[in-house]
Amino acid sequence: MRYWWVNQNQTYRQEVEGGYLWSPKRRADGARNPFYEYMREVAPGDLIFSYAGTVISAIGIAQSFAYEAPKPAEFGSAGPNWSRIGWRVDVRFQQLDDRIRPADYMDQIAPHLPDRYSPLSARGSGFQSVYLTAVSPSLAYVLIGLIGEEAQAAQKIVNDASFRQRDVAVGLTEWEDHLTHIVESDHSLSDTERHAVILARRGQGRFKEAVMAVEERCRLTGVERVEHLRASHIKPWRDCDSPTERLDGQNGFLMTPTVDHLFDRGFISFENDGELLVSDVAHPDSMRRMGINVRNPRNVGTFSDAQRRYLEYHRDEIFLKARLRR
């Protein structure tokens, strides 16, 4: 379990009532923001302290890993410069009856604040520029002690052996279904083209044929039988800018369903030289059972120039690994 602090001054009501965290992927100028990058490192079962106004108002338990999702419509005019597509984490929130004001307890809190990416100033006020940041176990224990029974109960739920982590990612399917409806209604495409683009979402049809002209097998498992493989988009179907990208054979790999899931959700990616990348949030035992050697990742071979361009997008926008300024 890890601990997180989220500042929700603009979006507290929407996120807590809706059961999620949402951040842009980049700042308005296109630069990376460490407090958005941290979204990539949240995992089911992590504990989240929600700060709004001047108090810790709620405790959350993460229910999913981060996944791409559009800016929530209920945000309205909040964050007018935020990008349209960002990171979402599903969260089970509990609003607190006993809310603490960190500024009143800085003698206990201050010694545990990090030198970088701190959620609070030395005087106990929240930094407006911070959205999500990591909380050390020592600081988490102080906060749980100050909040009292409600926070202790939330931690007990996560630590209980019967607690089942779940990665629901509810917004992802809804978003892709919405995009599918847009394609179905796009009369600039012929019936055949619309059908091909929709089938490409599932890694089948014309897209799979195009990928098979480039790839021969699953690069990780070595499986060659076409009935056991699906065509996986490198730049996801949902992110493609045109039907051409969605049907481009260079924008795909042949993968077994398990490997396809890992790749599509960002648990694995590849360097341009073929080295396998494994996300820090991926569960090591599960990865091993799925045939992924976490300790000694394999090299899967060379890629075409076009595949490397798509892979750059995958590493930048999909792979679940924060890129923090050091």
Q: Domain of 64: which CATH number?
A: 3.10.590.10
Looking at residue 311, its pLDDT comes to: 98
Mean pLDDT of 201-219: 94
Asked if residue 323 belongs to a domain, the reply is no
pLDDT 10s digits, 244-276: 999 999 999 999 999 999 999 999 999 999 999
Looking at residue 165, its pLDDT comes to: 61
Looking at residue 279, its pLDDT comes to: 94
Q: What are the tokens at 208?
A: 């799979």
Q: How far is CA 272 from the centre of its chain?
A: 22
Q: What are the tokens at 50?
A: 């929600």
Q: How far is CA 265 from the centre of its chain?
A: 8
Select from 168, 184, 214 the last residue of a domain. 168
Residues 54 and 198 in one domain: no
Interatomic CA distance for residues 69 and 71, integer angstroms:
7
Residues 180 and 308 in one domain: yes
What Å distances lie between residue 85 and 26, 81, 239, CA to CA?
A: 10, 12, 9
Q: What are the tokens at 102?
A: 């960190």
Asked if residue 326 belongs to a domain, the reply is no
Asked if residue 152 belongs to a domain, the reply is yes
| 303 compared with 80, residue with greater pLDDT | 303
| 306 compared with 325, residue with greater pLDDT | 306
Looking at residue 173, its pLDDT comes to: 81
Which residues, in sequence order, are CB contacts of 74 under 8 Å at separation 6+? Answer: 14, 18
Interatomic CA distance for residues 311 and 268, integer angstroms:
11
Select from 105, 133, 168 the last residue of a domain. 168
Q: What are the tokens at 247?
A: 């049907």
- Model confidence at 77: pLDDT above 70: no
Residues 25 and 141 in one domain: yes
Residues 111 and 218 in one domain: no
Mean pLDDT of 42-49: 94
Looking at residue 296, its pLDDT comes to: 79
Residues 98 and 200 in one domain: no
Interatomic CA distance for residues 224 and 211, integer angstroms:
13
H helix or E strand, kind and range, residue 231: strand 230-233
- Model confidence at 157: pLDDT above 90: no
Select from 168, 190, 212 the last residue of a domain. 168
User: 35: domain range?
Assistant: 3-168
Looking at residue 166, its pLDDT comes to: 62
Structural domain total, the chain: 2
Mean pLDDT of 20-29: 91
H helix or E strand, kind and range, residue 319: none
Provide the pairing of β-strand 230-233 with 3-7: unpaired
Looking at residue 101, its pLDDT comes to: 95
Mean pLDDT (the chain) is 90
Asked if residue 23 belongs to a domain, the reply is yes
pLDDT 10s digits, 176-188: 888 888 898 888 8
Asked if residue 145 belongs to a domain, the reply is yes
Residues 276 and 246 in one domain: yes
Residues 243 and 272 in one domain: yes
Residues 183 and 290 in one domain: yes
CB burial class (10 A; 0-12, 13-18, 19+) of residue 122?
exposed
Asked if residue 322 belongs to a domain, the reply is no
Query: Alpha-carbon torsion 319, 321, 322, 324, what sign?
Result: negative
Write out the E strands in 84-203: 85-100, 132-135
- Model confidence at 222: pLDDT above 60: yes
Residues 135 and 268 in one domain: no
- Model confidence at 161: pLDDT above 60: no
Radius of gyration of the chain (CA): 21
